[in-house]
Every structure is written in C-alpha cells, then in structure tokens.
Chain A
Amino acid sequence: MLKEGKNTAGDFRIPSGCAVSSVFSRSGKRLDGSDIIKSIEIMHERSNGLGGGFAGYGIYPEYAEQYAFHVFYNNAKAKEECEKFIDEHFDVVNLSKIPIRKIPQITDEPLIWRYFVTPLHTKLAESQLDENEFVVRCVNRVNTYIDGAYIFSSGKNMGVFKAVGYPEDVGRFYRLDEYAGYCWTAHGRYPTNTPGWWGGAHPFALLDHSIVHNGEISSYDANRRFIEMYGYNCNLLTDTEVITYIFDYLVRRQGLTLEEVAHVIAAPFWTTIQNKSPEERERLTYLRNVFAGLLVTGPFSILVGFTGGIMALNDRLKLRSMVVGEKDDMVYIASEESAIRVIQPELDKVWAPAGGEPVIFTLDRKND
C-alpha cells in the first residue's frame, strides 16, 4: 500500500486540525451516505488530502448475523494468503470486491475486498474463546503476520470505508450514496506526525467499535505499552488505533460503561476530583488509579460508533472543538457547527459538550 500520499504538502509538517462529523437517527431511520459527505466536505480545509473515511452502521441488514470484513491487499499474494487463513477459520457466506467509482482524485488503490463470515464451529470450540474474542484474535493475526493484508473493518452490520484523499472524494469513491444506515461517522485527515496511507486513514475499527479522532495523543507510548500487555498490536503507524484497542479492552473485556471509559481516558484533574461529592470522588479516583496507564493526554475530540449508538468525547482541557446539534430524532456531532447547519439549517438544540464529558446517544427502544 502507498505509505505516503502524493500531495502538495510533500514531506513537511503543517500542524493543524482534522475534521470529524456524524449523523445519527435515534429512531433507527436509515439514511444514505450523501448527507455525511456534504457535512465533512464543508470542513475541507481541516484536511490535507492524506486521508478520509467513514463508518456506517445498519448498512448490511441482509447479513446482520455475519461479521463483515473489509480488507486491503497490496497484491494477489497477500490476498491468497489471507483468504486461505479466512477459509481455515471462518465460514464465508459471501465475498466480493467492494464496489468503487473510479475518480481522478483517488489513485493507487489497493485491492479492496469484503467478506461476510461466521467463525467455524470446530475452530471456535477448539479455541475455547467466545465468538468476539476469536474474531479479534484472527483480525490481529492477519494484520500482524500477513504482509500486505489489512482487515480494517470487522463488525456486524457495519462497515468502514477509508482511503488516501479528501473525505468527500473518498465517500464518492466508495459510492456511499448507495448504502443506507442509521449512523454515519466521518473523518478528514491532516496527518502531522505519521505517514498518510490507506491503512492509516480513520475510522479505526475493531468488531463494531469505530473511532474517528481529531488530535494528537501525547501519551501514545504509555498507552501502547499498557495495551500491548493484553494482546493488542499497534502496527498501523498512527496514534489513533490505540484508542480503538482501549475501548475494546475496557468495554468488551473489562465490562466498563462508556461513561466509565470516558473517565479513564479523559480523567478529570485531581484538583477537579477533590471538589466532587464523596461517592463521585471515590469512583473517579478508583478509575484513575486502576487504569492509570490508559489516561490519554494531549488534545483530542473523538467520535465512537458502536452498534445502536454513538459517543462523542473531548480531552479534559477541550483543546479541540466539538458541537452537537439535535433536530427531532436526528443527532449531529461535528468539529464545526457549519458542518451541521449545511445539512440541517434548523436545529432544535445546539451545544458544545464540556471537556472530558462524554455525550452518548443510543437508538430509542422499540415498543414491540
């Protein structure tokens, strides 16, 4: 895969902001990808053409029970090797190239394939793992040991689409207007410290959790060292992937709520904790102490997509911007208010979450 995008930015660094945006229907109404493209496009100047991507939820209802693997291959050999591995571990219900639209703005694409799979019963039983853990380990195996193959999306009824380019071009390239989902997140990348390459574009996803991130993780190495003790491998040449693994570790394996995860990675200052009520103080102190190695410092605003919901979180100093807009059943969250107004001029409510305070929206419960 191309490890450095062709761009006028060349090889010098321009510190600036990325862009994030999302649309979410609380009633579960499925929307095509055109609005999210329009929203991220208005923030064009926050990106530099070295990465763009989207995550859509609810886009594969016909294969809702299968894990959807989206895979980049550098070459036919990597594909052959990876497909052999997939065949040995999974029952492949369907496979195809991911449909793309050839446009001049997106070039040098790898081979891009999609597989709907379920773990083979025999392999799963033999492993003595639950299904999700089995899938995570398989994804990790492919991404670490098969040269030139990268499974960049592995959830059920959701999918990640990403590339080197401006996000609006990436959306057109992947024909997102032909998909429909209840939640979309988007990212425009402006890499400052690490190469722009296909695998390094956001979102980063593991199972159904996907992360888009604007910022820079000062604590990256401390976080990486902690999370690698638990079997994760940070091998994608960018800091954001560690946040994806932290969410997987804390939510799926430790059973923390999303609010608790927020209070681990964007923990309040000790001085702020001191002024809380005794129970709250005890709770926050516990989370900070037990998961000290997972405190994420430096500026960030992130959007976390998951099955049935979305979470937005800023670093505790709020060094990146984030705006939430609500209209009827729709929720919009973006780096800039203009990115919301351009697709929904009339809002019932618009507000900026405080630093370190998670904002979580989930699908309305159906009365059936």
Chain B
Amino acid sequence: MAQKQYAIGERYIGAGQSEGTIVLDAVPGNALGAYLDGAEIILHCNAQDATGDTMNAGEITIHGNTGDAAGYAMRGGSIYVQGDAGYRAGIHMKEYKEKVPVLVVGGKTGSFLGEYQAGGVIVVLGIGCEDRQPVGNFCGTGMHGGRIFLRTEHLPKDLPSQVIADVAAPEDMKIAEPLIRRYCEKFGADAEALLASRYYVLKPNTKNPYKQLYVTN
C-alpha cells in the first residue's frame, strides 16, 4: 500500500501510530511522532520542534538535525539524530521497568540537555565539535534519573551540584555501546573510532540531591 502523502510543515505526523513505517523527504511540522506507539519514522531531512513528544515505543531516525525539545517527556522507544539537536533535548525523559527511552545525537545539542531527566538514556557523540563541549549551558539541570553520555574531552563547567560526572566505566559503556553501534549502522559512521574515545557519564547524585531546594526536609 502506498504511503499516505504528507505536506511540508504538517504537524503531528505519525502521532500515536502503533505500526507501519513512514518515510519523509520534506521537512515535517512540529510534534513529529508525538505519542508514537510502535511505528517507525525515517526522515531524509531535518525535523522541527518537539520530535517524539511523549513517545512510548517505536523508532524515529533523522538523517539531519532536529529542533528544540526532541524527545520531550519520552517514555519509551528510540530517536536517532544524525546531526544536531536544539535546546531542551530529552527534557523530562522517564523510564519504568522495561520501558527505557533512548535519544542518540550525532552532533551537538543546545542548552538544557536532559533538564529534569527522570530516566532513559541520552547519548551525545559530538561528532565535528571535538574541540569544545558538545552541549550548551545548564546540561542536566534538575536531573534525578537516567544517564547522559557525552563523547568529549571537555566536560561542561556549569554542571549542577546534583549531577555526578565521571569518565564512563566499562559497565556504563555496556549501556552506551549498543546504541553507538546502532547509530553507526544507521548513518555509516565508524563505530570503532567512536568507541575508542573518552566518554563521560552523567548521573544524578543519589544522596538526597534536592534536599532543601524547595522546603526544609
């Protein structure tokens, strides 16, 4: 069956869709794959804002960049972005049991990456910006769950005190490696070269990190 035709700039493409594959060549509107529930979306162009907003399952592959708030409140499934992501990527991602959302960004991201992250895995490969930090300001602000992997030698200086950043240990990389390999399969990057780099992993500090932030407790 031929794919339904979508207009340039059309919003909510694939919203809530549980099966099938959507392939797009013209820039879709905002909220591509919002509430996606198992279908696959492949983009041969850039995406706009709020890609995969609150998606639950399925996969979005973007052969290009994505705008702001990619993977906003995502609760399952995967988003792979070949290039860059805008501001607030992965904001408030969450996980529950086997539902662990994944956001992999090949290039750099804007500020507020993983803000209020509550679960799931974000990987930023920083391809092409090896000489500087691959994320903007305020990375991981309010983070209280999940993991952020950054392939870089330049850890952001403004990480909040509630976040612990360490060089990723082999057991951490067990989580990241399959995602990096999958990225390379999709976009033809060199997995061994990427895996040979240094990765930092950002986790929330589990020692009651938000004590007295709002109230005395």
Contacts and interface: CB of A to CB of B under 8 A. Distances in A.
A190 to B, nearest CB: 14
Contacts of B26: 338, 341
Contacts of B137: 272
Contact of B9 (A42, A317, A352, A355): A42
Contacts of A272: 137, 158
Contact of B87 (A318, A337, A342): A318
Contacts of B27: 336-338, 341
Contacts of B49: 321, 336
B120 interface: no
Q: Dominant SS at the A interface? A: loop
A44 B96 CA distance: 38
A142 interface: no
A183 interface: no
Interface in B42-79: 46, 48-49, 65, 67-68
A45, A336, A354, A355: which has the most chain B beta carbons within 10 Å? Answer: A336
Sorting the interface of chain B by its residue count into under 10, 10 to 19, 20 to 34 or 35 or more gives 20 to 34
A198 B9 CA distance: 28
Contacts of A45: 11
Contact of B86 (A275, A317, A336, A352): A352
Interface residues of A, number: 20
A350 interface: yes
Given A275-B158, A318-B111, A338 B86 contact: no
A211 interface: no
Given A321-B49, A352-B67, A338 B9 contact: yes
Contacts of B11: 45
B87 A338 contact: no
A321 B110 contact: no
B127 to A, nearest CB: 16
A342 B7 CA distance: 10
Contact of A352 (B110, B112, B157): B110
B48 A337 contact: yes
Interface string B84-108: 0011000000000000000000000
Contacts of B82: none
B164 interface: no
A8 interface: no
Interface in B145-171: 157-158
Given A45-B11, A275-B158, A350-B46, A337 B111 contact: no
Contacts of B175: none
B68 A321 contact: yes
Contacts of A355: 87, 110-111
A43 interface: yes
B136 A354 contact: yes
A43, A321, A341: which has the most chain B beta carbons within 10 Å? Answer: A321
B36 to A, nearest CB: 20
A339 interface: yes
B158 A337 contact: no
A341 B27 CA distance: 8
Interface of A: 42-43, 45, 271-272, 275, 317-318, 321, 323, 336-339, 341-342, 350, 352, 354-355
30 contacts: A42-B8, A42-B9, A43-B9, A272-B158, A317-B111, A317-B112, A318-B111, A321-B49, A321-B67, A321-B68, A321-B86, A336-B29, A336-B48, A336-B49, A337-B46, A337-B48, A338-B9, A338-B26, A338-B27, A338-B28, A338-B29, A338-B48, A341-B27, A342-B9, A350-B46, A350-B65, A352-B67, A352-B110, A354-B136, A355-B87
